[in-house]
Structure 1
Amino acid sequence: MRVLVTGAYGFIGAHIVAALIAADHKVVCAVRGARVDSRFAGMDAVACDMASDVHAEDWLPRLVGVDAVVNCAGILRERGAESFIAVHELAPLALFHASHQAGIRRVIQISALGNAADGEFVASKHRGDKALAALDLDWLVLRPSLVYSARGSYGGSSLLRGLAALPGFLPLPGQGEQQVQPIAAEDVGAAVVAALMRPTCTGEVIELVGPEVLTLRDYLLSWRRWMGFGSALLVPIPAPLVRATAALGERLGNGPLGLTMTSMLERGNVGAAHATMRLRECLGLTPRSLQRALDEGPSQVQDRWHARLYFLLPALRVLIALLWIGSGVVGWLTSPASLAAWAPGDVLPAGSLLVLARVTGTLDLLLGVLCLMRWRPRLVLTLMLLMLLGYTLGIGSMWPVHWLDPPGGLLKNLPLIAALAVLLATDERR
């Protein structure tokens, strides 16, 4: 079959695409800008924008020759034009209407397990499910619980891995008794393949859950053992502090830490009592337990690096930003007399030194603030690196005495250059 997949490059979407390829289906990746991901270089790609493609006419040209549609698009939080109502309701509904007009019967919607009261993320997903159910299509809604993979992570799964990898201690919301029923991303992909092969399984909302209900504490400890880290001190975090941290993440961050994830964990993200039985009956699928999935994919050093760096890299970014802001403040507060003492000789006139200090100070302040805001991070980090290289080469050549300053002087710039290079190398969000 030729299958159009929206959200094809996301964590869940990529696993679904991989499963479809393994089952010899032809995949069309509907992604922003028709960008061909290097992971799927042989795939066809068509341009779409779930924030604005809210009319059936937007989708009809993309459905030529398509036999089935799988909608994996989703956002955990709103940003700019990417609203829940657009990405989870209007654009999918336009796609579903276009599918009906194009004569495509099989439509599979990847939704979310949870309660609408947990937040607009789940509520909008479920409204999209309801809109699909009202159409004359052979539709199927799959609602996965917490999705993980031993072969990689993204978003919430990366956050939980990072928590599990903290050195010496493991923070737990409350006592870590929150319940989850995790399912491997590979089994989510297998569920979609099975759904395409079983056209009689239609008009259903199926919960994609693993075979066992785990506490959050046991889930995190399983990942800690898998990564090869030793025992940890379990540190209960009071609920008010957890909610305050989530509220701060919701307001200031752009990652998974926020009110939605906290609410879903507090309520418990588990399926109905008969969920695994329905999976077997409808799709012939028996998901693996967490332990079996981990045993089938032993951890590598890269997994440990990624988990340990999850919190260290943002901290490094903030410290670098504060250093640039501090440097900018110093550039504006430095007096002409101090500059004359710092730059001996007549390489540059005193007036030119002062202008240079103010200009570079302004640039440092601007880049420091933009770095804190994560505005176009790769561009900002590149400019910071170029400025640092310029400082080092310019000052080092005009006033070489600063290489020998007692606290390290220009020598301290060398590890800073490496730190910026690390931030640039690890900036990719997926």
Structure 2
Amino acid sequence: MRVLVTGAFGFIGAHIVAALTAAGHEVIGAVRSGRIDARFPGVRAIACDMASDVHEADWLPRLDGVDAVVNCAGILRERGRDSFKTVHERTPLALFRACSQLGIRRVIQISALGEIADGEFIASKHRGDAALKTLDLDWLVLRPSLVYSARGSYGGSSLLRALAALPRFLLLPGQGDQLVQPIAAEDVGLAVVAALARPALVCEVIELVGPEVLALRDYLLAWRHWLGFGRPVVLPVPAWMVRVGAAMGERLGDGPLGQTMARMLERGNVGEAHAVTRLQQTLGLQPRPLQRALAETPSAVQDRWHARLYFGLPVLRVLIALLWLGSGVAGWLATEAEVITVVPGSSLSAGSLLMLARLTASADLVLGALCLLRWRPRWVLTLMLLMLLGYTLGIGIGWPSHWLDPLGGLLKNLPLFGVLAVLLATEERR
């Protein structure tokens, strides 16, 4: 079959694309800007924008020759033009109506397991499901629980890995007895393949859950053991502190740490009593237990790096931003006499040197603020690197005595090149 997959390069979408490809289906990935992802060199990508393609006409030309559609697109939090209303409701409904208009009967919606009270992420997903149910299509809604993979992570799965990998300690909300029923991303992909192979299975909502209900504490300990780290000292985190952290993450961050994830974990994220049995009966799928999934893919040093750097890299970014801000403030507070002592014997006048110091200080302040706000981080980090190179070469060649400064002077710039290079290299999130 020729299958159009939206959100094809997301964490869940990528595993679905891999499973469909392995099963012999022809996959078309509908992704933002139609970018070609090197992970799927044989997959044709077409451009779409779930934040704006809210009309049937936007989707009709993309569905030419398509036999089935799998909608994996989703956002965990709103940012810019990406709103829950648009990405989870309006745009998918336009896609589904275009399918109906062209006679494409098979539509699979990847939703999410949870309660409406968990937040607008779940609520909007379920409203999208409800809109699909009103259409005359052979629809199927799949609602996965906590999705993980030993072969990679993104978003919430990366956050939980990082929590499991904290040096010496394991921080748990309360006693860590919140319940989850995790399912391997590979099994989610197999579920979609099985659904396409069962055309008679229609108009059903199926929960995708693993065979075990685990306490969050046991889930994190299993990942810690898989990563190869020793048994930790468990530190319970009071509920009020968890809520404060989630609120701060919701307001200040752009990652998975937020109120939606906190509510889902606090309430628990498990399927109905017979969800696993129903999964076996409807799709013929026997999801693998967590320990088996981990045993099938031994951890590598890259997994340990990623888990340990998850919290370290943001801290490093903040420190670099503060360094640039501090340099900018110092440049504006410096007097004319202080500026002259930095570059003695310059051919520029004292007034010109002071003006140059103010201009570079202003650039430092702007770049430091943009780095802190994560505005176009690749551009900002590159400009920081170029600015640092300019400082180092300009002062190092013009006034080489600064290399011999007993407090480090220009020598301190050398490790900063490495720090900025690391931040640039690790900027990609998928």
Q: Is the structural similarity TM-score above 0.5?
A: yes
2:295 is aligned to 295
Cα distance in 1 between the residues matched to 2:291 and 2:346: 70
Cα distance in 2 between the residues matched to 1:47 and 1:337: 57
Cα distance in 2 between the residues matched to 1:409 and 1:244: 41
1:412 aligns with 2:412: yes
1:57 is aligned to 57
2:162 is aligned to 162
Letter of the 1:338 partner, please give it.
Answer: E
How far the C-alpha of 1:241 sits from its partner, in A, is 0.4
1:205 is aligned to 205
Aligned to 1:95, the other structure's residue is in SS state helix
Which residues in structure 2 correspond to 1:116-265 (within 5 Å)? 116-265=116-265
How far the C-alpha of 1:39 sits from its partner, in A, is 1.1
Does the C-alpha gap of structure 1 residues 346 and 137 become closer, same or farther in structure 2, counting only changes over 3 Å?
closer
Cα distance in 2 between the residues matched to 1:47 and 1:355: 47
Q: What TM-score results when the alignment is normalised by the length of structure 1? A: 0.99
Aligned to 2:109, the other structure's residue is in SS state strand
Letter of the 2:424 partner, please give it.
Answer: L
Higher mean C-alpha deviation, range 356-365 or range 334-343: 334-343
How far the C-alpha of 1:342 sits from its partner, in A, is 2.1
Q: When the two structures are aligned, how many residues end up with a matched partner?
A: 430
Which residues in structure 2 correspond to 1:326-337 (within 5 Å)? 326-337=326-337
How far the C-alpha of 1:40 sits from its partner, in A, is 1.2
Cα distance in 2 between the residues matched to 1:384 and 1:342: 21
Letter of the 1:374 partner, please give it.
Answer: R
Q: What TM-score results when the alignment is normalised by the length of structure 2? A: 0.99
Query: In angstroms, what is the RMSD of aligned CA positions?
Result: 0.7
1:69 aligns with 2:69: yes
Cα distance in 1 between the residues matched to 2:90 and 2:365: 41
Letter of the 1:304 partner, please give it.
Answer: R
Conserved 8 A contact 1:172-1:234:
yes
How far the C-alpha of 1:385 sits from its partner, in A, is 0.4
How far the C-alpha of 1:347 sits from its partner, in A, is 4.0
How far the C-alpha of 1:348 sits from its partner, in A, is 3.1
Letter of the 2:26 partner, please give it.
Answer: K
Letter of the 2:375 partner, please give it.
Answer: W
Cα distance in 2 between the residues matched to 1:164 and 1:369: 32
Conserved 8 A contact 1:142-1:206:
yes
Aligned to 2:152, the other structure's residue is in SS state coil
Cα distance in 2 between the residues matched to 1:87 and 1:168: 40
Cα distance in 2 between the residues matched to 1:166 and 1:26: 42
How far the C-alpha of 1:372 sits from its partner, in A, is 0.3
Where in structure 1 are there 5+ consecutive unaligned residues?
Answer: none
Aligned to 1:278, the other structure's residue is in SS state helix
Q: Deviations over 1:166-225 (max 9, x none)?
A: 100010001101000000000000000000001111111000000000010000000000
Q: Deviations over 1:321-373 (max 9, x none)?
A: 00000000011010011112222223432222111100000000000000000
**Runs (4+) off by over 2 Å:** 346-349
Higher mean C-alpha deviation, range 293-302 or range 34-43: 34-43
Q: Deviations over 1:17-46 (max 9, x none)?
A: 000000000000011111111111221111
Where in structure 2 are there 5+ consecutive unaligned residues?
Answer: none
Cα distance in 2 between the residues matched to 1:188 and 1:384: 42
Aligned to 2:33, the other structure's residue is in SS state helix
1:339 is aligned to 339
Quick one: percent identity of the two aligned structures?
Answer: 75
Cα distance in 2 between the residues matched to 1:134 and 1:342: 73
2:108 is aligned to 108
Aligned to 1:38, the other structure's residue is in SS state coil
Cα distance in 2 between the residues matched to 1:412 and 1:252: 31
2:25 is aligned to 25
1:403 aligns with 2:400: no
How far the C-alpha of 1:313 sits from its partner, in A, is 0.2
